[in-house]
Amino acid sequence: MRETKFGEMGSLTLPGQLSNECEIMHFHKIGTPHTHPDVAEIAIMISGYGRVITDEDTYTLHTGEYLRIPAGIAHYMEPAKGTVMHMFIGYETQ
């Protein structure tokens, strides 16, 4: 795990349709808005709850729920006040 400005992040490798760029992320505070121009992101809530805010809508996720964010859509994560969002993040290969 490595420290980031929003919490902690680590990487792992998985076979299949997800690219080898998968991450486990712990959001202690609001993430930074960003896009992935060439890949869709799959965000799975491992534990905790909070919101995924995109330039199209706001989605509330609880443990076990997931969201697919299409390529090119700006987004960021926002943990609920006083909580930590533990998420598995994978990127779809095209």
Long-range contacts, 52-55 (Cβ 8 Å, 24+): 52/76, 52/77, 52/78, 53/77, 53/78
Per-residue pLDDT, 9: 59
- CATH architecture for residues 2-91: Sandwich (2.60)
The pTM is what?
A: 0.79
Tell me, what's the pLDDT at 50?
96
Q: What is the pLDDT of residue 26?
A: 87
Return per-residue pLDDT of the chain as tens, 94 residues. 667 665 665 655 555 555 556 788 889 999 899 999 988 999 999 999 999 999 999 999 999 999 999 999 999 999 999 999 999 998 886 6
Structural domain boundaries in the chain: 2-91
